[in-house]
Amino acid sequence: MRVRQLGGAVLLCALALPARAADKPAYAIKVADSEVPKEVQEPIRTLLAGKAVQLADAKDEVQLEVWLRKELPVKATEAQLKNGLTYREVPISSVMGVLRVSKPIFDYRKQKVNPGVYTLRFGYQPMDGDHMGTAPYSEFCLICPAAEDKKPDLMEVKALQELSARTTEGHPAVLVLFPGKGAGPEPKLVNKGSGHWVLLWQVEGSADGKKGPLLLGLTLVGTSASA
């Protein structure tokens, strides 16, 4: 009888182990005191917050790291700053942060982004027939080679696209921005479904010496269904 009971207990344990493994999320984040990579040019480096968010897979292997700006210049009224900023108040081509890729990832267009260090600049999806309906939202961060992004000044759209295109030697590399509802001072990772994992984090925007929160929803993992 004891042998049978023991065998049953072992069987139950064996069945429980895969269930626990399956419950572990595909991705998780943690905040780290990680130094900004040397590839980031000094004028941009000084704008970044001291802490990074690391994205790890289910094997606890770090895939990428993100540093955001300490303060983001915006074009906003005092009322907009008070009530909460939106992406519409962010000037096109603004430096949003820096991305370090440890293992190859794919941008929203399913383009391969190789390990390296990149800046993230704000942009919009072109309103033309080639792009309409390919993403749930029209705001993006363009991934640009950090070594070639010399200063944080705003850029012409064409120059920004050409810089980002050097990341993949093709189309500009992009990460879609979701609405940042639910974001706060501490970063959190949200599964939006359909393979989309979004980093929610509050950024401080500033205009004319006044400040207000911008709720950011940066897609770290996820590609377009039409890519």
Q: Work out how many domains the chain is built from and give that number.
A: 1
Contact call for residues 69 and 86 (beta carbons, < 8 A): no
Lowest-pLDDT range, 88-92, 128-132, 174-178? 128-132
Partnered with residue 32 across adjacent β-strands are: 52
Structure tokens at 114: 């190789």
pTM of the entire predicted model: 0.87
Indicate whether 82 belongs to any domain.
yes
Tell me, yes or no, whether 12 lies in a domain: no
Residue 184 CA to residue 106 CA, distance in Å, equals: 27
Residue-wise pLDDT for 142-182, tens only, equals 999 999 999 999 999 999 999 999 999 889 999 999 999 99
What range does the domain containing 173 cover? 25-221
Rounded Cα–Cα distance for residues 109 and 226 (Å): 8
76: tokens are: 């906003």
pLDDT digits (tens, 9 = 90+) for 102-121: 999 999 999 999 999 999 99
Residue 140 lies inside a defined structural domain of this protein: yes
Has residue 174 been placed in a domain? yes
Q: From CA 42, how far away is CA 53, in angstroms rounded?
A: 20
